């Protein structure tokens, strides 16, 4: 059993919801990202999504766009990010999902990437622009290594398509709570509720909700509808705003703890 | 027997496809289905042809450039006069098609990206024609260098949205248009201006632009009684080139040459020649040749022609290059500038800086060929929009 499945089993057994935190790797630098992940683990975050910065992040709003630009300027790349994750694994067993766009992976080489990611201790991958129609070319390398292929479901996704997607997915399903890019709108609880119901009828995989959740209150409203929530842009923004603060780690950790409390 | 391309998932060999976020996938599938139906619908085709003729002013002439031919002393040169289309370039062929499709799909709001502004103007034009709301995304840098087209779009009633993210040029405008589309996918139709983007765009844009090649074929057969030996067209994303090439693809005696922008030179790193000097990657929904670093981060392109300033290329061009059906070369900024001057002063036709790249390659090729050879250059747009930049450089 992989770390992701184990984590959801553990949460289910105790009736808890998952808190998933997204961090852009390399913002402000990779050493800081490593420290953030460890701090998130200590703060009770259940799963970390580590964002691989890309020059053309078409599914992201302004906050993550800017973070990606900063990370790239600082010299972050997939090879260094995997190295950083390997270092995390010396200390922490928090489930890690690599989140990003296809081109940096494709450029690394799909076969080589799968082996290196497994070796680094990556548990799952979420490639935003790799829908089921195109994902086979990567999955043939990542599936045999037991890496989860996390798939996105949007409000616009039809039931027929959800079936196709869940057949192709493992680990958990990521429900995009808004028709928009990351961190740009508030999800409507009613819509989320209806869509999760739709998904549940077609799959037994855990469902987490993300793309528009920015506050503990919102997380507290959404979490009961699903198996977990993702906080991304809100954390990335907080890191940017407080980047010169000495107690940056503490600030980010307390926010994570607040969210965790709100969904417990 | 050649297979019909693209395949059902939009692949041209290993190129193309539909690498898009899930939020867009249903919209792309809906669009593809609507397009396939429209393609078979005689009413849609009749309507499209009506607007091409009565509104765009087609067909455009295939003009024999006698003075240029004599000056170069080699092959006969014909110009396919897309610059005479309404709005001044070939772009209107495609925007008319897509706007009619949008109307058919009940979408009353169109968005588009633009680099040089030609596609933006062509989109704003059809939005005015069909009474649609229109938002054009344009890099801040391009807004500065293509001011006349910005005014035209505004006069036509479109809202021009400046894009400051990334490098503030065409690729960032396209990123922003995609983000906007994701956010308003239910009521909005994204009019992509070139043969790139996720399936069905490369196929759809190619088909709408193929009117160029179909006319040229008919015209040259009528005028010369035979097919041409060479087709030459500039390639940024590649819509004018594909429009000319596609109807000739099975006529293997016709050689097709796509001219990319070599900017300051291929060895300087400041160019837009994705096929000549790029590598394979995935951007804006399709696999193709890209300008990128070793980590898969996409570079900025550079060209004096804003319309060629794109770090990718249409997937079918990538396929034509790999299969050898077409050949791709690159022409530098200063060579294009010289061709701009030569054509203006030799034929009284001021070409767009983009099209000047195709002319520049013809200036090299024609003198090497015998007089019984025939070249068709796609003169994809007129050069009024470039007058300011050229005047500055020529010291006029």
In chain B, where does DSSP find H-type helix?
A: 25-40, 42-54, 66-72, 91-104, 118-130, 140-145, 147-155, 170-183, 201-209, 211-224, 239-245, 274-277, 315-323, 333-347, 353-365, 387-394
Angle between helices B333-347 and B387-394 (to 10 degrees): 100
Q: What is the value of pTM for the model shown?
A: 0.96
Angle (CA) B323 B364 B382, round 5°: 85
B232: helix, strand or coil:
strand
The shortest C-alpha distance from B22 to chain A (Å) reads 6
Q: What percent of chain B has pLDDT over 90?
A: 89
Interacting residues of A253 by C-beta distance below 8 A, sequence separation 6+? A39, A40, A42, A43
CB-CB neighbors (< 8 A) of B17 in chain A: 133-134
Of residues A42 and B186, more confidently modeled:
A42
The answer to whether A131 contacts chain B (CB < 8 Å) is yes
Provide the pLDDT for residue B141: 84
From the DSSP assignment, how many helices (H) and strands (E) are in chain B?
16, 14
Residue found by looking up tokens 């705003």 in the block: A241
Provide the pLDDT for residue A48: 98
Residue B1 predicted with pLDDT over 80: no
Interacting residues of A243 by C-beta distance below 8 A, sequence separation 6+? A28
The answer to whether A78 contacts chain B (CB < 8 Å) is yes
For the segment B296-317, the average pLDDT, to the nearest whole number, is: 94
Choose the weakest-confidence range: A103-117, B168-182, B260-274, B343-357.
B168-182
Tell me whether residues A103 and B282 touch, CB distance under 8 A.
yes
- Topology of domain A3-263, CATH: TIM Barrel (3.20.20)
Tell me the average pLDDT of chain B.
96
Q: How far is it, in rounded angstroms, from Cα B120 to Cα B319?
A: 27
The shortest C-alpha distance from B165 to chain A (Å) reads 8
DSSP B314: -
CA distance readout (Å), A197 to A12, A224, A225: 18, 12, 9
Provide the pLDDT for residue B360: 98
In A203-263, where does DSSP find H-type helix?
A: 216-222, 233-241, 248-263
Tell me whether residues A103 and B283 touch, CB distance under 8 A.
yes
pLDDT-derived band at B167 (thresholds 50, 70, 90) equals confident
The answer to whether B21 contacts chain A (CB < 8 Å) is yes
Contact B21, B282 (CB under 8 A): no
pLDDT tens track for B75-121? 999 999 999 999 999 999 999 999 999 999 999 999 999 988 999 99
Comparing CB atoms, the residue among A72, A78, A157 nearest residue B22 is A157
- Catalytic residue numbers of A, as ranges: 49, 60
pLDDT tens track for A77-127? 999 999 999 999 999 999 999 999 999 999 999 999 999 999 999 999 999
Looking at the DSSP bridge assignments, the partners of residue B78 are B64, B376
Average confidence (pLDDT) per 10 residues, chain A, 264 residues = 95 97 97 98 98 96 95 98 98 98 98 98 98 97 97 95 95 94 88 96 97 95 97 96 94 97 95
Longest dimension (CA), chain A: 50
Residue B304 predicted with pLDDT over 70: yes
φ, ψ for residue A104 (rounded to 5)? -60, -35
Pairing mode, strands B230-234 and B279-283:
unpaired
Pairing mode, strands B76-81 and B62-64:
antiparallel
Q: Which residue of A has its CA nearest to B299?
A: A55
Q: Which among B319, B322, B258, B323 has a CA at the least distance from the CA of B16?
A: B319
The shortest C-alpha distance from B359 to chain A (Å) reads 33
The shortest C-alpha distance from B238 to chain A (Å) reads 20
Looking at the DSSP bridge assignments, the partners of residue B138 are B114, B162
Tell me whether residues B282 and A129 touch, CB distance under 8 A.
yes
Provide the pLDDT for residue B2: 53
Mutation site, A107, A130, A152, A184, interface B, largest B CB count within 10 A: A107
Contact B99, B105 (CB under 8 A): no
> And the tokens for B237?
């994303």
Provide the pLDDT for residue B71: 98
């Amino acid at each position: 059993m992989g770390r992701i499945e184990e984590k959801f089993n553990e949460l289910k057994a105790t009736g808890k919801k998952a808190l998933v935190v997204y961090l852009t790797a390399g913002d402000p630098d990779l050493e800081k990202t490593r420290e953030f992940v460890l701090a998130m683990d200590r703060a009770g975050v259940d799963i970390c999504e580590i964002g691989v910065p890309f020059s053309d992040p078409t599914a992201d709003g302004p906050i993550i766009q800017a973070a990606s630009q900063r990370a790239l300027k600082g010299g972050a790349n997939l090879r260094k990010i995997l190295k950083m994750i390997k270092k995390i694994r010396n200390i922490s067993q928090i489930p890690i999902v690599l989140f990003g766009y296809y081109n940096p992976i494709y450029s690394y080489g799909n076969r080589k990437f799968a082996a290196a990611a497994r070796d680094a201790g990556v548990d799952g991958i979420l490639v935003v622009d790799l829908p089921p129609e195109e994902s086979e070319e990567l999955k043939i390398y990542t599936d045999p290594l037991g890496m989860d292929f996390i798939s996105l479901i949007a409000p616009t996704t039809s039931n027929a398509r959800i079936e196709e997607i869940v057949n192709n997915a493992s680990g958990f399903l990521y429900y995009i709570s808004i028709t928009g890019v990351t961190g740009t709108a508030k999800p409507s609880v009613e819509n989320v509720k209806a869509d999760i119901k739709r998904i549940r009828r077609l799959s037994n995989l855990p469902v987490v909700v993300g793309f528009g959740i920015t506050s503990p209150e919102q997380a507290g409203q959404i979490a009961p509808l699903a198996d977990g929530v993702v906080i991304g842009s809100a954390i990335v923004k907080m890191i940017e705003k407080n980047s010169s603060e000495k107690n940056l780690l503490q600030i980010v950790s307390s926010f994570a703890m607040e969210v965790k409390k709100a969904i417990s | 027997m050649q297979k019909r391309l693209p395949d059902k998932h939009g692949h041209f060999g290993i190129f193309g496809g539909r690498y898009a976020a899930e939020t867009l996938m249903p919209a792309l599938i809906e669009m593809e289905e609507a397009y396939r139906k429209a393609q078979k619908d005689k009413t849609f085709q009749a309507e499209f042809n009506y607007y091409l003729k009565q509104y765009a002013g087609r067909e455009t002439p295939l003009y024999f450039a006698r003075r240029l031919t004599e000056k170069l002393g080699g092959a006969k040169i014909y110009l396919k006069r897309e610059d005479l289309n309404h709005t001044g370039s070939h772009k209107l062929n495609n925007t008319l098609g897509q706007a009619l499709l949008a109307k058919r799909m009940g979408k009353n709001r169109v968005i588009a990206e633009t680099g040089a502004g030609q596609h933006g103007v062509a989109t704003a034009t059809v939005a005015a024609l069909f009474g649609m709301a229109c938002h054009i995304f344009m890099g801040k840098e391009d807004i500065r260098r293509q001011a006349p087209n910005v005014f035209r779009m505004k006069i036509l009633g479109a809202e021009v949205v400046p894009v400051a993210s990334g490098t503030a040029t065409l690729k960032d405008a396209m990123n922003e248009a995609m983000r906007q589309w994701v956010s308003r996918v239910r009521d909005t139709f994204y009019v992509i201006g070139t043969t790139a983007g996720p399936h069905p765009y490369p196929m759809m844009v190619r088909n709408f632009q193929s009117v160029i090649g179909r006319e040229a074929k008919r015209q040259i057969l009528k005028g010369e009684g035979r097919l041409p030996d060479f087709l030459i067209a500039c390639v940024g994303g590649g819509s004018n080139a594909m429009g000319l090439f596609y109807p000739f693809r099975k006529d293997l005696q016709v050689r097709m040459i796509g001219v990319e922008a070599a900017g300051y030179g291929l060895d300087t790193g400041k160019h837009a020649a994705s096929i000549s000097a790029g590598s394979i990657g995935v951007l804006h929904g399709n696999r193709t040749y890209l300008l990128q670093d070793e980590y898969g981060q996409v570079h900025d392109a550079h060209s004096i022609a804003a319309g060629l300033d794109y770090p990718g290329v249409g997937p079918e061009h990538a396929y034509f290059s790999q299969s050898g059906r077409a050949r791709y070369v690159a022409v530098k900024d200063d060579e294009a500038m010289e061709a701009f001057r030569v054509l203006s002063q030799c034929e009284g036709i001021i070409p767009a800086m983009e099209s000047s790249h195709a002319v520049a390659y013809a200036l090299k090729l024609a003198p090497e060929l015998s007089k019984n050879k025939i070249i068709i250059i796609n003169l994809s747009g007129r050069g009024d929009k470039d007058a300011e930049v050229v005047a500055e450089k020529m010291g006029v």
